Amino acid sequence: MARIVKCLKLIIHLVILTLLSYFIKRQEPMKIVKKIERYVPDMKHILLWTKVPGLEEEGQRYFIRNRCEHLNCYFTMNRTLFSDLRYYDAIVFNAQDVSRSVKDLPKVRSLSQKYIFASNDSAGNFPVCNRLYDDFFNWTWTYKLHSSIPYRFITIYNTDNEELGADLNWKYDMKPITAQFRSSLSSKHLAAAIILDKCTTSSKREYFIHNLQRHLSEYNLTVDIFGPCGTRRCGRSSLKPCFYRIRTSYYFYLAFEDSLADDFVTRSVLFAYNNNAVPVVLGGAHYNKFLPPNSYLEAGRLGEQLTAKLMYEAIQNKTKYYEFFRWRNHYALKESKILNACTLCLFLNNESWLRHHSSYKTFREWWNPFYEMYCGLSRYW
């Protein structure tokens, strides 16, 4: 009898425990959502003055979906959400629009709110010309490493999958690649490719390509130009077939930016790295701050003739060519989320950073040191 009672007790306990855990599990997600929606005490309201690429979601959705460290930020494009523009903690201005026009700006301003200049593109493509913008922005949110809120197009990881921040302490003594990796390069037989969709650019890369082609032809090598600016075609709606061609056939990929600007190193180098081709770069950046050493050719610094010679030598001498891939034993490169608003929210939660009053007194020059030249012909000057 006593045994049966003990057994029954145990069963009842088990049933209660199971029911409890079932209810807890059921309620948890609902609770979290409620808490975020209603009980966040200190919300940072961010007005997107005009549309900013990648930040289309109203409210807190962006911050929740991306599991940001801070969720108490609120995006809106509604300028009349509050009765007065001074209620917003921050107003974000999009570079493309700032570069284009000055007509549409806030009429009132609170000195304790932050005016933020946000750009997903380069200072060469979108210089700011009107002097009204000097001493206008408090923070900048761009790819420039000296921005208030900087971002990178490419994030570097070590082999433990740890993100390396701005402090890239490169290892120079790198291990040779494996035989298996060497054999994956064995089908390559063409010198260089580039995928182009903008045919004339402020970086004048089209002239550089032309001259490089001339010098490569002395070695019987060519640059194959894919896309509307060249004669080769690969994938119409997706880049995948192009990437396949690069991976299987090409030794080098010309990762030439469409604009030469400090720190402007975009995902185009990943077209090379991700497809086992060596990137040839042409830009205004100090590439050592962005890419593993000895993993690329810096054409802007070398010039067309020497670049062509080094390409030829690496194609002839496989030992030399394989050295470009040694970084793979020590690092991994991934495309970053640009204009990552988690970081923005982090900054808006830093009281000392928030209270500190500052502005970019000579903003136009900070953004583009050559703005006078770029703006010379602009009708907004």
Ligand X SMILES: *[C@@H]1O[C@H](CO)[C@@H](O)[C@H](O)[C@H]1NC(C)=O
Residues at the interface with ligand X (CB under 6 A): 53, 78, 80-81, 111-112, 114, 120-121, 135, 138, 219-220, 266, 317, 319-320, 350, 352-353, 357-359
Closer residue to ligand X, CB minimum distance, 162 or 351: 351
Closer residue to ligand X, CB minimum distance, 150 or 247: 150
Closer residue to ligand X, CB minimum distance, 159 or 350: 350
Closer residue to ligand X, CB minimum distance, 32 or 199: 199
User: 261's torsion region: left (phi>0), alpha (psi -120 to 50) or beta?
Assistant: beta
Closer residue to ligand X, CB minimum distance, 247 or 323: 323
Q: Which residue has the tokens 């807890």?
A: 24
Question: Checking DSSP bridges between strand 223-226 and strand 190-195, what pairing results, if any?
Answer: parallel
Q: How far is the CB of 84 from ligand X (least distance, A)?
A: 12
Distance CA 44, CA 60 (A): 10
Distance CA 338, CA 321 (A): 32
Closer residue to ligand X, CB minimum distance, 101 or 159: 101
Q: How far is the CB of 230 from ligand X (least distance, A)?
A: 20
The DSSP code for 173 is: S
Contact between 298 and 252 (Cβ < 8 Å): no
Burial class (CB in 10 A: 0-12, 13-18, 19+), 298: middle
Distance CA 284, CA 257 (A): 9
Question: Checking DSSP bridges between strand 139-141 and strand 44-48, what pairing results, if any?
Answer: unpaired
Neighbours of 270 (CB within 10 A): 17
Q: How far is the CB of 152 from ligand X (least distance, A)?
A: 12
Closer residue to ligand X, CB minimum distance, 120 or 276: 120
Q: Which helix (H) or strand (E) holds 138?
A: none
Q: How far is the CB of 246 from ligand X (least distance, A)?
A: 20
Q: How far is the CB of 360 from ligand X (least distance, A)?
A: 8
Q: How far is the CB of 20 from ligand X (least distance, A)?
A: 38
Closer residue to ligand X, CB minimum distance, 120 or 203: 120
β-bridge mates for residue 223, sequence order:
192
Q: How far is the CB of 375 from ligand X (least distance, A)?
A: 21
Q: How far is the CB of 263 from ligand X (least distance, A)?
A: 13
What is the Rg, in whole angstroms, of the alpha carbon atoms belonging to the chain? 27
Q: Which residue number places its CB atom closest to ligand X?
A: 359
Query: Rounded to 5, what percent of the chain is helix, strand, coil?
Result: 40, 15, 45
CA torsion sign for 62, 65, 67, 70 is: positive
